[in-house]
Structure formats: C-alpha cells, structure tokens
Structure 1
Amino acid sequence: MYRIKDNIIKISVRNLVEFILRSGDLDNRVAGGADTDAMREGSKIHRMLQKQMGSNYDAEVPLSIEVPLMQDGHEIMVQVEGRADGIIHCEETSFNTMDTELLKPGIVIDEIKGVYQELSFIKEPIRVHMAQAKCYAYIYSNQNDLDRIGVRMTYCNMDTKAVKYFEEEYDYIDLKKWFDELIQEFGKWVIWQYKWIQTRNETIRGLEFPFEYRSGQKQLVTDVYRTIIRNKKVYIEAPTGVGKTISTVFPAVKAMGEELTSKIFYLTAKTITRTVAEETYRILANHGLNMKVVTITAKDKICVLDKIDCNPVACEHAKGHYDRVNDAVYDLLTNEGDITRDLIVSYAAKYKVCPFEMSLDVTLWADSIICDYNYAFDPNVYLRRFFVNEKKNDYTFLIDEAHNLVDRAREMYSAQIFKDHILECKRIIKGKSHKLEKKLEICNKDLLKLKRECDDFEVVDNINEVVLHLLGLASEYDEFLQEFKAFDEREKVLQLYFDVRHFLNIFELLDEKYVIYNDYDETEGFRIRLQCMDPSTNLLRCLEKGRSAVFFSATLLPIDYYKYQLGGVKEDYAIYTPSPFDTRNRLIMIAKDVSTKYTRRSEEEYQRILEYIFTFAKAKTGNYLAFFPSYQMMNQVFSLLEGQMEEKENGEFVINDKENMETSLEIVIQRSNMTELQKEEFLDSFTVNPSVIRMGFCVMGGIFSEGIDLKQDRLIGAVIVGTGLPMVCNERELFRNYFEERTSKGFEYAYLYNGMNKVLQSAGRVIRTMDDKGAILLLDDRFLNKQYQSLFPREWYPNTTVDRFSMEDILKEFWVQEELEDNYV
C-alpha cells in the first residue's frame, strides 16, 4: 500500500481513502467482478470523457501534499499523491439564495468512475469515491489558496457509455478538518509500521545463515542476493537436498533488511511446499529474526460456515465486516508475533469479521506473504491491493516448484464459454427478465451456429460477433443481478456471469500467443475456448510490477524452455546447483526390455511390469512407490493381481508369497478424488522401520508424485512406469503444431518436457535428506534414447541398464553395501 523510506511515507489518494473509510457488508449477492473489470477498462472511459470536454478542462492533473505527522515522539512526513481525473475552470458567478449572496466555485474537481452497474441504481456517490475527490479538492485548494471549491462525481456505464453526475461544494476550512482527521487515523498505522520496520531490520542485520553451508549452497545464496540487488530474474535448477527454500528465503530477507525490497511473496502451487516455507521462517525466527509472515489460506478451508455464502443475511461475520475489520487487524498486528492461521481465525471470531478477508488485509502489513501462484498472477483472484496498476514496486517473488507454473499460467490466461451453461441459465431466469432471456438466446444461437460447423475440433479465426453479443449479455446481467438478489440456483447464474466477464477480459489480451477453438468437453458439452499457448507475455506483465523474481525447482530441465515460458528475457540468469548427495547412496536403473508405448500395451507387457515391481521390492524389506502414467494403466496392471491377494478392512491389499519373499507385501493404491484425511492415511502408512514390504501404486503428476516428504526409510525406492508423456488429444496436438511452427520443437514442447518433468518429480520422492539411501527403476526402453537422456539431471549419472534377471543381483549388491556402510558407521 505504501513504503516508508527516509522517514517519508508515500501513499496514493486512492489507497488512503479505500483503507481508512471503507464500511459496510461483505455481499456476494452483488456481482463482485464488475468493479475490478471496470478498473481494467477505466482508462479508456477516462480518455473518452476527457476528450469530450472543452478548453477549460485540464485532464490527469498530478497533485500531492506533504503532511507532518507526530506520534509517540516520532515525526514522519506523509506524502499523499495522485492524479485528479479532471480540473474544470469555471467562471465565478454570484447568485442569491434566501437573501444571501453566494459565489459559485471557480474550480471543480472531476472524479470519473467507470462501472458496469446500471446507473439508475446509483442514488448517491459511493463514499470512498467522493472521499477520493475531496482529497484532490483539499490539495488543490491548499496549493492555490482557495476558500471554496466544487467536486463532481462522474459515473459512466462501461457498456452503454451513459453518464450520471453528482455535484457538491466545500469550504476549505471544512475540507481541511476532514483531511486532517483522515491523516490522523492513518497515522496510528504509520507509526506502528515505522517502529516495526526498525525492529525488524535490526534483527535482520544480526541474522546469520542457520546451518552449515552444504556444497554449492553458499554460492546459491549469493547468486539470489545479487539477483535481487540487480533487479533481475533468476531460474534455478537445484536438486533435492540443496536446501532451496532456505537458500532463497534467507537472501531475500537480508535484502529486506537493507531496504532493497519491501515485501517478499513466496509463491507455490502445493500446500506441502507452503508448509516448508512456513517452517523455514520459523527456523530463522529461532535464530533471532523478527518478521510478520502470513499464509493465505483458501477461503473454503477457513470459512466459518459449512458452505461459503458471503452476505449479511447468511453470515453474521459478513454483516458490517468493513466497519470492524481494521480494528481486528490492528489488534492482531500490535499484540501478536507469528501470524498463524489459528490466530487469524481467533481474532476474526473476536471481532465477528470474515477470517479470509481479514487475512488478505493482514497481507498489507506483513513482511512476507506465502500463497498460491493465483494471488500474484491470476487475472481473477490476484491481490489487487498490490498489483492493480502498472506501477513498479520493490517486491521480491520467490516462486517454488516453478515447473508447475507453465501449465497453471496457461490455464489462468485461458477462458471458455459452454453452450449448455447459457441454456441452463436461460431456463433458471425464465419469467424474471425478458431482456436477459433475449440476450442469452442470442448468445446461444451464436454458439449453435459454431457447433453446427464443428464435427470434433475446429480452430476459429474470428469471433467478433460472438464477443459483441457477450458484451451485451454482460451489460444486461449487471442490471438483472442488482434487481434479483435471491432466487433458486442463483449461483449457477452468477457463475456464468463471471465466466462471461473472464472471457471478455481474456479476449482483450488476445495476440499471436493465443488460439481460438471449438470442441466438445466430455462432461460440459460444446464450448468455445480462448487458449493461451504461451503465457510468457502475461507472466512478464505481472513480474514487472516487482523488483526481482527467483524461480526454483528440482526439475527445471531444459532450463531454456522454462525460462522462455516463464517470462524470462535475455538478461536474466539461469543457474544449476550441483547435488550434495553421495552418488553411492542412490541406484538408478533403466530396464531395457519393457515398454509402455501404446502399440506395446498388452496383458503380457503389464505382467512383465508387475514382475519388475515385485523383483525390485523383494530385494529389501521397506517402503516403495510405483508411479504409473495414468489411472487407467495403474488399474489394468493392478487387476492382474486378482486371486493373488486379500483385501484388508482398511482398503489395503496383502500378498503372501513365502516361496519368493521373506515377508508379506502390502499394497496401497491411490484413488481419484481422495479427501485430505485419505491422503494423510495413505502417507502415514509408510512408517519408519517397516517390518513388511509396502508398495504404493500412484499416478505420475498426481498428489503423491511431488511435494511429499517421506524421509529416510519411510521410502527407499521408486518404480517409474513409462515416460509420463501426456495422452494425445486435440489440445496437445494444437500445442505441438503451434510450437513446431515457431521453434521446430513441437513434440518436445507439447509432450516430452511435460512427461519427463513428471518422471523427475516422481523419482525425486526417494532422496529427501543427506542421509537417505534408495533405488530408482525406470521402466521403459525409451529412457535409453538420447532424446530422453538429454533431459536427465547430472545427478542421474552414472546409471545402469538392466533386465529382470540382472536387476536382482545389482539390487542385492547395492543393499548389502548399504548395510555394510551402516554397520561400519
């Protein structure tokens, strides 16, 4: 929101009034996307209206004022700045009202707001909008010695371009009193943060790296720090065990202590990696660091209701939320150190405010924010309080498991509309609004026409007519949702509204890195989709709002591909950090006589895969995981075990083969749509010092293939069944053709890199700490091809080519050597 530097605080007029003067309820019954969409289009509306004004109208006038603030013995200068949309120079005229002569102001401040809301519903200016205009009026009056000034609020409908005005007049004395009170209320936050930053920076300056540096780790820490100093981006491939989290967090914290960065965003896709980040900050706290760190918990996991329904009728925490939330946040900040989820829930209950929205407000004052990628990059849910404008800030982005961001970003910047969803909403609102029904019917006809021209999959060049009709639908939607705040199945109607708005917003981003196509979704039917093929431009636009970005992953190969897709430029850095592990503690084998190619899949091949898995596991009693390329193949292989095993009450399976195994073999299998409890139970079954062989059947790219930490003998081996290549489908072929034209690497971009990343992540579950020892078996003869081996990380050498018979002897030798070394130690 603002930054303190050299005892001067700079804050925008908008941020000031929106923070101090907000009030009222949380209410999801009002179309929440409208205002944020309006902000994106607002500059166009501003320019349109400003051009219509005459020569007495000055547009985009910069205004600022410095106000000294003294509290608790500290003096700070508050600099409030912004741009008035317009200043109107009027002729001063006198007129009589009840025998009193008044002077019409010669200056009027014009504040323009673009809205999607039907203007007839706006009965008076929105409080924070008028407050913004009043701030500009005060600053201008102060600088020009005016005793009186006018204010005009101009609301313009984004779709119809209709305009509505509200006008007020103010005496300078009244404006000054109002503005001084505003600054004084803001002052308590400023002074708290000023003192807090001094305390924080003092602890950072005395902070030392909390561990003895591993091989290559000190250089990694130095490289990250230099990247932040130089305002660059860096892409780091660092194998498991290097200590990526502490090696990126520590230098970012040190840069904060030097006031090079004001906020650290730790961004990730997985809950488990967020937990690792939290633990890293706790380790630093135990070594003297004093920082405010907050993790954003998903709304559905922190909501006080069983089912989210954010409005004052359904939730007492939503009623008057904005009247109380600032007090709740201030109480939390001034009385607590480590800001945990439980603390946020506790203070939210104390003040009866929404815990999720409160956590977002806490981020304004936190030094570091741990959250999902979405909060920085997704155009629908990003943290607008930090990224709403094009202004560059001194934020540092730490992006964990960065390989996941490519596909996530493609999805964030894509959009789709389903024909059946339009028909369903038409059915729901039937009889409520003839106008909206008509708009829905027009859009349905557009998609029906496209559907008739599409047998299976069709790339489309021009959808301008569809977009024009969707704009009309969105406009009518706004009026409908204002009038009808409660009816059956309103959620479905509202969801289509959000989908349409998102579609229109993404359409504005369309360039050569997009493809438009029609096809048939398996469950939702016919759709039109705006597919982001290459997210680099959109990601770069977000990253440029910060100072520096650090991308890191154990699997960022080939690094040039990820650098290109993740918004890298020529001047950015790419780093490989060598693994600190002793290669003797890890055995990597490639089977030369088995394949998972579609042309080779058969019961005979699946039986061979099973033999490999059991031979691999029976070499040593312990815990293992076998990763398959799909649920379908996993279940087909598993079905071959029918009659050889018995099912236990807890859903596990047991095979007793006393002739070939010293102990029984227990199998647990990953199911689709597992609950959090089921996931925990699955992982908890992999115990320390197991007395039986335990084999988990899992899916590559699934919940157990990355992010889980089964350290030491909780996991001693992994079997990777196949190369992980995505299934051939229309969308994948679209990617292949697109990148073949541009890079001549269509297969690599669409299939190979994605598949090998899944393989590397799955294999990475085995070695988690410096003391781990384990074996990895790659089951597919394609792993012997140069095309695949070129993507092997350096630590995968040396490796051994095996068949079912030679593998058994090699494993025995590996585990015997491991036992000898353990006994020697």
Structure 2
Amino acid sequence: MKYTVAVRTLCEFTAKLGDLDLRFTPSATALEGMAGHAMVASRRGEHYENEVWLKGEVGGLVVRGRADGFDPDASRLEEVKTYRGDLHAMPHNRRSLHWAQAKCYGALLCAERGLPRLDVALVYFDVGSQDETMLVESHSADDLRAFLELQCERFLAWAAQESAHRGARDAALAALPFPYATFRAGQRQLAENVYKAAISGRTLLAQAPTGIGKTVGTLYPQLKAMPGQKLDKLYFLAAKTPGRALALDALRTITEASNCTTEGESARPPRSAAPEQGRAPPRGAGCGTPQTGGAPLRVIELVARDKACEHPTKACHGDSCPLAKGFYDRLPAARQAAVGATPEAAPRLDRAGLRAIALAHEVCPYYLAQELVRWADVVVGDYNYYFDLNGMLHGLAHAHDWRVGVLVDEAHNLVPRAREMYSATLSRAALDGVRPRAPVTVAPSLKRLARTWNEILGRQLEPYAVHEELPQGLVTALQNVNSAIGDHAAAHPDDMPPELLAFYFDTLHFTRLAESFGTHSLFDVTIADDAQRDVTLCLRNLVPASFLKPRFLAARTTTLFSATLTPMHFHADLLGLPPDVAWIDVESPFEAAQLRVQVAPLSTRFAHRPASLAPIVELMATQFGQAPGNYLAFFSSFDYLAQVAELFQALHPEVPVWSQARQMTEGARADFLARFHAGGRGIGFAVLGGAFAEAVDLPGERLIGAFIATLGLPQVNPVNEQMKARLETLFGAGHDYTYLFPGLQKVVQAAGRVIRTTTDAGVVFLIDDRFRRAEVRRLLPAWWHVEMA
C-alpha cells in the first residue's frame, strides 16, 4: 500500500526552514479567510475553477491536495493567502513555504492536464483593505515536476519509516493482550462497552466506580479498536495533571505487556476478584509480567506553554530566544530522535523525555511537542487541546482529515471547564489601564468603547444585572477596537505594550463569542464598587452543548468516563452528546461492608457554621480516637476549613493535622499527599472540589476515612440564581442542574478516595442534615449502605 501525503503536510515537512517566529501579527480569522478566498474567486473570469482537487503519484508517494484556484484562460494556478497589515513584514521562511505549496500544486496540475507550462501565483489578499497582491512565476512542467520530486525525495525515507511504523503498530495492537492475568470486577464490562462504542463509531457515557481501573479499562479497548477502525490518533484528555500521569503509566503498562504470552487471551476472564492493578503488575501469571520493548506505540504528552518554556523572560522568535533561532533547521534531527530509528529505540515522549530531546537538539520543547503530534499515535493532554474554541488537536484533525478516537477522563469536569472555555469577560479596570498608553491610532476606538460602556452602566441600577440582549453598540465598539489594534500591530509589531496585547486578546475572544450569543449564555454586568471603577462585562456560557456537539461528531468515537455521571440526562443535555449516545453504569466491585457511611445531622449552611464547629471537631476527634489512622476532612471553603482546623488543633494538639492552602505548587501538593503513608496517623484538611478531592490514589492504610462537612452545593448568589432560572426554562430542572447534581458529584468524588481496592476498608461521615433527604440519597452510589445517626 502506497503512502499518501497531503501537499500541505509534505511542504511543512520539507520546506519549513529558519527561525521559529511567533511575534504577534494579526492574522485573518477562519471566516475572514473563507470570505477572502471567495472574494478573489468572484473577481476572476467565468472559466475560473475554484478549489481544484489534485492527486498524483511521485516516486512511490501518493500526493494529494486542493489548489485554491486555476484560471485556464491565463494558464495560471493560484495559491490564495489572506493576511492583515504589512505584507513586506511577512517572515521569509513563511513566503518560501507558500511558494513550495503553490509549485507542488502546479506540478500535479500539469501532470493531470498535460500542460507544458504554467504560471504559478501567490495571491495575498488583505482582509482589511480588500486589496490583492499577486506574485507570479512562470515554470515549465518539467521544472515543476523536478521541484515536486525533490520534495518527495526528502520525504520518502520518512514516509517509508512511517508506513512501516503504522503497519507494525496496527499488527501489535490487533494482537495486544490485556496486561494483567485477569480483569478486575467491573473492568471487563467497561472495556467491552468501550470497544463496542469504538467499532460502531458511537459516543459512550460510562459511569464506573473509583478503583476498578478505569484508565486501563478504557485505553486498552480503544487501542485494540484502532487497527480495525483505521484510527490515526487516540486523544486521551484529562482535566488535571494527575489524570495525565495515570494515563501515561497505564499506556506504559499496556504496551510493555505486549511481548508476553497470554494463554487463552481471547477467552472471557472470570468475573471473580482480580489481582490489584495500577501499580506493580502481578508476576508470573499470563500477561502479569510486562516485558521490555513492547508495542511500537508513540505516546506524547502535551503540557502548558508556561510549564514547558525554558526561557520565560524571552519572546518566541529567533532574535530573542536561542531555542527559536534556527528551530526549523534543527527540527528534522530532533524529530527523528523523538520517533526513534526503530520502535525499540523510540524514547518516552512525556514532559521529561521531550525536554531532554529538545535541549539536546537546541529546540523549544513546547513547539517540538506540537510538531510531533503529527507523528504520534496517542496524545495525552488537557481538555482544552480538543474542546477549546481554538483547540489544537481538533484543528489538526480537521486540517489533516485524521480519524480519531477520544477518551475523556473524569468527564464530570467537562461541564464546568467547557463553560469557562466558552465564556468571555472584559474588565473596565483593564480598559482604563490601556487607554493612557494607547497609540494615537488606537485611542479613539478605546474612547468610543468607554463611552458605550458608560451608556450600558447608565441603564443599570443594581450591582449585578443580566441584559436580555447583547447591545449592538457594544459589539460595534469592540469590532472597531479590534480593527484599530490589529492595524497598529500589523504596522508596528514591536510596539505592542503587553497590557494592550492582553486586552486585545480579550476583546477578540469576546467578539467571537458574541457572534453566537443565544439562550445558552447570559450577558451580565457586575459593578464591584460604588465608584464604578471595577466593572465587568461577561458573556457567561451556561450550556456549552452547541459548541461541543461538533467536536463529538468530528471524532470517530468518544468515551466519556467518570465515577460520577449520574444522572445521564444532565450530561447529555449540557454537553450536547449525540442522540444515539450509549450509557453504561458499571457495577461496583466493592461490598457495603467495606465502607461505613454515616450521616451526621448537623447543618453546615453558611448561617449555621459557627454553631457547627464544635460538634464537627468532637465527631472527628471521637472517630480518630476509636480508629487512629490517616483521614481526609473536606469543607466547602478555605475559611470554613481554617475555622475547624484551628479549633481542632486547640482542643486536640496531640493529633497531627495538615491543611490545603489556597495556592499550592505541585511540590506543595506532593508534600501534602506524602503525609498519607502506610502506618501514619493524622488528618489532612482540604476543600471539596479541590486538588485532593479527586484523582488521588491512597489505597490501604494510606487513607482509612473521610469527613465531608458540606453537601457540596454551589454558593447561592445572583449568578447561580440566573443560571438556575435559565436552566429551568431550558430543561425544567433549574435547581438540580445548578446546585444539586454538581454538589453531589463533588461529595461522591471525595468519598471515593477512601476505598480504592477490593481489600480496603474505611469510613465516611456525611456531615449535613440534608443527606437524610431521599432525593439526595438517590444520587449516592447504590452499593453504599447509609446509616442515619
């Protein structure tokens, strides 16, 4: 089977040279780009051919792509590029890439239509002025063919390597054994349903208890399905750093086990209790012992730019950062080192592995990772890389026509995270901050925006108000600001104060979301002080379904999994899941006798908190005295946590305690968790819904109990009350969707830290009288036996 490559991919691989240059210059949006291409086509003659699909075979490669246009009357192929600002300021290496693409299309066109000569043109369309600049070169068909052959020659060795890798990868995944002697209870049920969803191209919503090995239980069947479904990539998306770490560990375990023999692997393992997974695999039985080498699977971890940057004080261009200077010249060697000469030689491409390769070849680790996504099989990263408005993984899949599978870890977090992605805020303080230093060409538009802002405030009598309509005057004023700042940035790229650039990004995001404003969002105005110096305009997304739905449809298959996805309709409604979404609630492997769950009928409502302090302290001290060990205590806020911790320490100084701080580094979080060691004794105080309330694995004696002093309900405030009203209108379940369901998800997640294996035992105290209510208890895990005090 011949290797097929797109012209765009081919040229990006062979014709990108020189520096990495990310100095900000405003570029056309996708909509402006499409409009610009359409405008150029409308100006051509009646015989002009728009979007010409081309395909040809060169030196064993199948090269395909879509040329922007062909004018047969002028015998001219056109590659159209939209831009803003000064065309002469465009980096030379970018222009070279454009010429390479145009010439490759020209060679394919000449071969397909038997043309002896062809004019090849770059048409640069300024979306601001609507003017065209056409650069034309005349070439013989032989010259164009020679150019294309040179690019293909440069790519051919890589293509052969990639073709061999894909074949080896698919063969290994088709024969991939499960990495343990048996499945855990419930894990096989999860894996079977993930596999069925993958081979049928469906979306699956999977609720599975904490501790059954969900990461392995979802990754393994998705990997098994990749060859048959011809999937190019698998995206594993996590909400937090610990989720990425678990995925990387699970992938290592799965792939390393591929060399061991599995007697009767295709048979259904027994449903009895299985050896524990997730740490050291069981030795000596079946696939319990991972081998060296393993399946040839390229796994890459994506981390945030601020965490990957080696020179945070330098700008991302060759005149500032040494790792940007000559980036594309050194990229080929770094890329080859990353994928390895042989599957066995391929290094780990997690954060540390990528950094080592990048620094060895003197390239930027962050942008090396982004380049390597094109050649990876599995990508592990944050939700935003796929679901965000500008999600890189979604954009690459669309541009390269990849077939992808998606796994969404701890999927109960996707609703709040997606709301953040599709919300936008503008601060009056930020506007007032940029105005004094604004360039003279920008100042008038900022002044008009301030006047429009004042008009909105003039109609508002309360500190917080929701406006039924998005003021058209505001949208127009923001568009004018965007245009003015964009024009200035294009003309003076080195004269952009950081605060003005940050404000510009905020206005661009706000304006873009304003284009799709509807019932899924609110436009609200918050006045934080009487002097109106701190005023915030917010486009607040409440239902991200309309934004997320296309992302689910773009993937071949998606599985969203978590221990807390009840009720299903809550997530289906808010996330925009497809109508044929499958649902599974995996049976728990744990027994009620393992976990004592007791309701303490105190009130933790805000007004009653002072009175609750002493009873909570007494309850915690009594339990610790009866069964000394490691406990976690969860509270609804840092203030509440501090009050209880202070009183507990005063009354019981003999009991070790440690507390979560408002802002903790990764090192501080690791130190907090390190206190929970086997044989240890003490109580860790944490905030419900925070870093220690989920994705924390403390099996056995490391954690024997939890106190949860809250129902977890979001704060009652004007914003949440507006959300409640809107969700009541849309779904008839305003209170449940706003308060009850999100709150109980946090409670169940926190309680899930206690029982991690089938041999664990512990206790959970639910401290709030509202846990007695039937509608609340229905949302707790079915295997719990809840005792009423």
Mapped to 2, the partners of 1:142 and 1:406 lie a distance apart of 51
Say whether the 8 Å CA contact 2:394–2:551 is kept in structure 1.
no
Query: In the alignment, which residue of structure 2 is the partner of 1:549?
Result: 558
Q: Which amino acid aligns with 1:582?
A: E
Q: Do structure 1's residue 216 and structure 2's residue 225 form an aligned pair?
A: no
What is the match of residue 648 of structure 1? none
Partner in structure 1 of residue 75 of structure 2: 107
* 2:596 aligns with one of 587, 590, 604: 587
Residue pair 2:708, 2:747 contacting (<8 A) in 1 also? yes
Q: Aligned partners of 1:271 and 1:760: how far apart in 2?
A: 20
> Is 1:57 aligned to 2:61, yes or no?
no
User: Residue 745 of structure 1 aligns with which residue?
Assistant: 733
Give the percent of matched residue pairs that are identical in Structure 1 and Structure 2: 30
Pairing 1:196–2:192 present: no
- Is the contact between residue 59 and residue 152 of structure 2 (CA under 8 Å) also seen in structure 1? no
Is the 1:118–1:478 contact (alpha carbons within 8 Å) kept by the matching residues of 2?
A: no
Residue 260 of structure 2 corresponds to residue 270 of structure 1? no
The residue matched to 1:199 in structure 2 has which SS?
helix
- Tell me the SS of whatever aligns to 1:465: helix
Q: Does 1:452 align with 2:421?
A: no
The residue aligned with 1:238 is 208
Q: CA deviation at 1:504?
A: 2.4
Go from structure 1 to structure 2 and tell me whether the alpha carbon gap of 1:745 and 1:465 turns closer, same or farther (over 3 Å shift). same
Question: Cα distance 1:260–1:84, how it changes in 2: closer, same or farther (>3 A)?
Answer: closer
SS in 1 for 2:115: coil
Decide whether the 8 Å contact of 2:698 with 2:753 is kept in 1: yes
Q: Choose from 671, 677, 688 the match for 2:667.
A: 677
Q: Deviations over 1:647-698 (max 9, x none)?
A: xxxxxxxx34xxxxxxx311111110012221111111112112xx401111
In the superposition, relative to structure 1, how do residues 524 and 230 fare at CA in structure 2: closer, same or farther (>3 Å)?
A: farther
Please report the TM-score for the alignment, with normalisation by the length of structure 2.
Answer: 0.90
Aligned positions of 1:454-603 closer than 5 A:
454=460, 455-460=462-467, 461-486=469-494, 490-520=497-527, 525-592=534-601, 594-599=602-607, 601-603=608-610
Deviation, structure 1 residue 151: 2.3
> Which structure's CA Rg is the greater one?
1
Supply the distance in 2 between the matched residues of 1:64 and 1:10 (Cα, whole angstroms).
10
| CA–CA distance in structure 1, aligned partners of residues 678 and 611 of structure 2 | 35
Q: Mapping of 1:631-650 within 5 angstroms? A: 631-641=638-648, 643-644=650-651
In structure 1, the residue corresponding to 2:442 is in which secondary structure? Answer: helix
Equivalent in the alignment of 1:666: 656
Q: Quick check: 1:392–1:545 contact (8 Å CA) kept in 2? A: no
Amino acid at match of 1:441: K
Change beyond 3 A, Cα 1:260–1:226: farther
Match of 1:649 in 2: none
Q: Distance in 1 between matches of 2:673 and 2:156?
A: 50
> 2:224 aligned with 1:254, yes or no?
yes
Contact kept, 8 Å, 2:358 with 2:364, in 1: the verdict is yes
**How far apart are 1:68 and its partner, in Å?**
4.1
Q: Which moved more, 1:47-56 or 1:549-558?
A: 47-56
Q: 2:197 aligns with which of 224, 227, 231?
A: 227
Q: In the alignment, is residue 328 of structure 1 matched against residue 334 of structure 2? A: yes
The 8 Å contact of residues 59 and 149 in structure 2, kept in 1 or not, is answered as no
Q: Name which of 59, 64, 81 aligns with 1:81.
A: 64
Deviation for aligned residue 1:749? 1.0
With 773-782 and 144-153 compared, the bigger mean Cα shift is at 144-153
Distance 1:521 1:269, change over 3 A: farther
Amino acid at match of 1:476: A
Which of 392, 397, 403 is the equivalent residue of 2:412? Answer: 403
Give the corresponding residue for 1:769. Answer: 757
**Secondary structure, counterpart of 2:558 in structure 1:** strand
Question: Displacement of 1:744 after TM fit?
Answer: 1.4
CA contact (8 A) 1:12 1:81 kept: yes
2:16 paired with 1:25: no
Q: 1:789 to 1:158 in 2, by over 3 A?
A: farther
Question: Hey, what's the Cα distance between the residues in 1 that align with 2:134 and 2:429?
Answer: 40
- The 8 Å contact of residues 591 and 777 in structure 1, kept in 2 or not, is answered as yes
Question: Quick one: which of 355, 359, 365 aligns to 1:349?
Answer: 359
Counterparts in 2 of 1:602 and 1:374: CA distance versus 1, 3 Å: closer
Question: CA deviation digits over 1:249-301, x for unaligned, max 9?
Answer: 11111112335322110100111111111111111122123311111122222
- Aligned partners of 1:281, 1:616: CA distance in 2, in Å? 40
Q: Equivalents in 2 of 1:316, 1:249: separation in Å?
A: 38
Per-residue deviation at 1:201? Answer: 2.5
Shift of 1:375: 0.7
Letter of the structure 2 residue corresponding to residue 689 of structure 1 = G
* Alpha-carbon distance between aligned partners in 1 of 2:85 and 2:391, rounded to the nearest angstrom: 20
Inter-partner Cα distance in structure 2 for 1:714 and 1:225: 34
Q: What is the rounded CA distance, in whole Å, between the counterparts of 1:763 and 1:167 in structure 2? A: 68
**1:723 Cα offset (Å):** 0.5
Measure the CA separation in 2 of the matches of 1:547 and 1:8: 24
What is the match of residue 270 of structure 2?
Answer: none
CA change 1:154–1:478 in 2 (3 A) is same
Q: Deviations over 1:131-162 (max 9, x none)?
A: 22222222111112212111232222334433
Which amino acid counterpart does residue 326 of structure 1 have in structure 2? Answer: P
Question: Which amino acid is 1:374 matched to?
Answer: N
1:367 aligns with 2:367: no
Residue 386 of structure 2 corresponds to: 376
Q: CA deviation at 1:39?
A: 3.0
Deviation of 1:422 after TM superposition, in Å, equals 2.2
Q: Secondary structure at the match of 1:66?
A: strand
Q: Distance in 1 between matches of 2:604 and 2:303?
A: 40
Q: Is the 8 A contact 1:116 1:475 kept in 2?
A: no
Show CA shifts across 1:175-203 (max 9, x none). 11111111111212211111112222232
Tell me: CA distance 1:123–1:202, structure 2 relative to 1, closer, same or farther (3 Å): closer
Aligned residue number for residue 85 of structure 2:
117
SS state of the match for residue 503, structure 2?
helix
CA-to-partner distance for each residue in 1:73-129, whole Å, 9 max, x for gaps? xxxxx3322222221132xxxxxxxxxxxxxxx311122222233446459882222
Query: Match of 2:706, SS?
Result: strand
Deviation at 1:760, TM superposition (A): 0.9
Q: Which amino acid aligns with 1:324?
A: R
Aligned partners of 1:609, 1:635: CA distance in 2, in Å? Answer: 13
CA distance in 1, matches of 2:12, 2:471: 38
Deviation of the 1:548 alpha carbon? 0.3
1:309 deviates by 3.1
Q: What residue in structure 1 maps to residue 307 of structure 2?
A: 301
SS across alignment from 1:250: helix
What is the alpha-carbon distance in structure 2 between the residues aligned to residue 555 and residue 521 of structure 1? 36
Q: Distance in 1 between matches of 2:329 and 2:42?
A: 39
Report the CA distance between 1:216 and its aligned residue: 2.6
Q: Which residue of 2 aligns with 1:75?
A: none
Secondary structure, aligned partner of 2:64: strand
Measured in 1, the distance between the counterparts of 2:717 and 2:401 equals 40
Range with bigger deviation, 148-157 or 701-710: 148-157
Counterparts of 1:642 and 1:202, CA distance in 2 = 60
Q: Describe how 1:279-294 pairs up with structure 2 within 5 A.
A: 279-288=249-258, 289-294=295-300
**AA of the residue aligned to 1:116:** R
Q: CA RMSD in A?
A: 2.2
Cα distance in 2 for residues equivalent to 1:25 and 1:684 = 44
Cα distance in 2, alignment partners of residues 255 and 81 from structure 1 = 27
Q: Match for residue 120 of structure 2?
A: 151
Name the CA distance, whole Å, in 2 between partners of 1:524 and 1:294: 46
The 10-residue stretch of structure 1 (140-149 or 456-465) with the greater mean CA deviation from structure 2: 456-465
Encode CA deviations 1:541-571: one digit per residue, 9 max, x unaligned: 1222220000000111112211222221221
CA contact (8 A) 2:239 2:383 kept: yes
